[in-house]
Structure 1
Amino acid sequence: MYGNKSREQWSCSWRSVAIASWNCCRVVVNRAAGKAGSPRKAGDCCRLCVYCKHHSVSSRTVSSYYALEYRKTDTERMLKCYAFLTYPAPRISWVRGNTSIPETDRKEARDGVLYSLRSDQNIINTADPYYCHIHLPHEEWAAEWKMLDQLSNVEGSSIAIPCEYSSNTANSEGFSVVWTLNRNAVISVLASFNGTSHSYQPRVHINQSDFSLMLHDLAPNDSGEYLCNISTPHYTKLTVRTLQVENSGNTNEIVVGVMIGAAILVAVGVGVGVLFRKCRRKEEII
């Protein structure tokens, strides 16, 4: 059945867009390598590999992949859920909190037999988490977006911005962390972790014990939305925190202003007390 085909020739769908299913393609690769497998399934997969080759897909190694993107402008917040190079076309669904919601918009492209889809969702309530689910016959992929409470600190200090994750996720194969800053609609990559920690901006690094972002010597232009992207091959979680850095000069002015205001209130209170006592004395004399 296999003739003189090499392992590479039989693996046209292995880790690819899967014209055949994942298990079927694994049978083909194992069979070509001399391992046990089901001839019936392998034969089906072989025919699909021929179909795949006929459509010029098998000449390149193409893997399906997925992503959730968060965008913020002056007027709106939006999520974009992507499925790249899949077969068949995936089904994409959205949930806000515990309620299923329709997508805001959708874009679709074809490359031969392969589908690439983008499903958009407007964020109308930042208090709710949003979920994107991508459904395919051979696999499922899910993503979550959540905004947490605002953080604040003063210029010149340090801060740790937490990132939400589970221990099961952190122990998964392909686990990665990426921290970005969205400030004035400009996105900057700050640091990442994929077994090794990398920093791309000064004064920042990832704490490898809990994947929080450490910021040192804060400046007012560090204010903005910080996004922690936790990803595995089958799951992505985006956690957003807004950081407000107060200018130390403004802080000092506020403190001085409060102290002056308090002094004025004390002085007024003393004056009222003295005036009250004088009035009482006059009444007693009369």
Structure 2
Amino acid sequence: HVSVNEQIVTGRLREDVILPCSFESGPNVIIHWKNRDTNIYSYYQDRDQLETQDPRYVNRLSLFPDFVTPVMEYEKKTTNSFLICTVFSVFPYPNIKWKVDNNTTISDKKERKEDDPFGPFHVNSRVNITGSNSSYQCAIENPLLKQTWTGRWTMKDVLHKMESENVLLSCKPENNFSPPNQDFTVTWSRVENGSSLLLACFKNSSQETLISQPQISWKEEPINSRDFSLTLKDLRLSDSGEYLCNITSNESTSLTMQTLH
């Protein structure tokens, strides 16, 4: 299907502008943008194709901006805990669905912001964590590209340990988490009211690892591993609390929570 139409768009110097283009979605989407006879942008085979892009437009154009970088966060305030899924500067308006324990669909509270009623949109979706549920899943779908980003939060069993003992904080991604060539980041943090303390970090793109305290070590070297568990040694009473492992790629986020008493 080929569509040609003309529309006048007014922009402001040195500001972003959206050039509207509507069409029926389907397999093998092919999109070409031109300024007269100049190629400024192409999209096909499910990705940007910029080999013939005019140099004046390099790094200035984006189709469905930032859809691949949503965020899932855990937030604790006094006795209440929340999960928040956020997607920034997205177009068109995304579909967001929450499920509990891989089964029941639940309602959320959405906050929507946009500078223009036609987008792009900034959407914030929040649910309250209840004590009887052990996992939550947030799925954000771009209805045009048929792409879905998934965020998952899992609560592990509570750990009961004595002073001076060692404890293993478990964190393993699901089998389908990330293709071998996809970049991802692993962070461990301790969560307290309204804040978190970074304990460890690993970036597979640069193979960098970070440990913030001598009391902490990786169970296995994270390079070429799929086990990102931490060992916490020589426990003290002050170590009691919530520990969060965050594994994030462009396509998904996996949050694993463990409580230590």
TM, length-normalised to structure 2: 0.70
CA distance in 2 between partners of 1:22 and 1:92 (Å)? 25
CA distance in 1 between partners of 2:48 and 2:156 (Å)? 42
Structure 1 unaligned regions, length at least 5? 15-20, 34-48, 50-56, 245-286
Q: How far 1:168 sits from its partner (Å)? A: 4.0
Q: Deviations over 1:182-208 (max 9, x none)?
A: 134431111111122212334223332
Largest Rg, 1 or 2: 1
CA distance in 1 between partners of 2:244 and 2:107 (Å)? 25
Summarize the alignment of residues 1-286 of structure 1 with structure 2, pairs less than 5 Å apart: 10-11=40-41, 23=45, 26-27=48-49, 29-32=50-53, 58=61, 63-64=66-67, 65-97=69-101, 98-103=103-108, 105-111=109-115, 113-136=119-142, 137-138=144-145, 139-169=147-177, 171=180, 173-195=182-204, 196-207=208-219, 208=222, 209=225, 210-244=227-261
Q: Deviations over 1:67-123 (max 9, x none)?
A: 1111122221111111111111111111112011111x1111124532110001011
CA distance in 2 between partners of 1:127 and 1:100 (Å)? 13
Which residue type is aligned with residue 124 of structure 1? Answer: T
Q: Deviations over 1:17-60 (max 9, x none)?
A: xxxx6757624x13438xxxxxxxxxxxxxxx9xxxxxxx749x
How many percent of aligned residue pairs carry the same amino acid? 29
CA distance in 1 between partners of 2:157 and 2:47 (Å)? 46
Structure 2 unaligned regions, length at least 5? 1-33
Higher relative contact order (CA closer than 8 Å, sequence separation 6+): 2
Higher percent of residues as helix: 1
Inter-CA distance 114–2: structure 2 relative to 1 (3 Å threshold): closer
Native 8 Å contact 2:100 2:133 kept in 1: no
Inter-CA distance 166–200: structure 2 relative to 1 (3 Å threshold): same
RMSD in angstroms over aligned alpha carbons?
2.9
Inter-CA distance 239–132: structure 2 relative to 1 (3 Å threshold): same
Inter-CA distance 231–76: structure 2 relative to 1 (3 Å threshold): same
Native 8 Å contact 1:80 1:120 kept in 2: yes
Native 8 Å contact 1:158 1:215 kept in 2: yes
Native 8 Å contact 1:180 1:190 kept in 2: yes
TM, length-normalised to structure 1: 0.64
Native 8 Å contact 1:177 1:229 kept in 2: yes
Native 8 Å contact 2:139 2:151 kept in 1: yes
Query: Deviation above 6 Å: which 4+ runs of structure 1?
Result: 1-4
Deviates further, 137-146 or 159-168: 159-168
Higher percent of residues as strand: 2
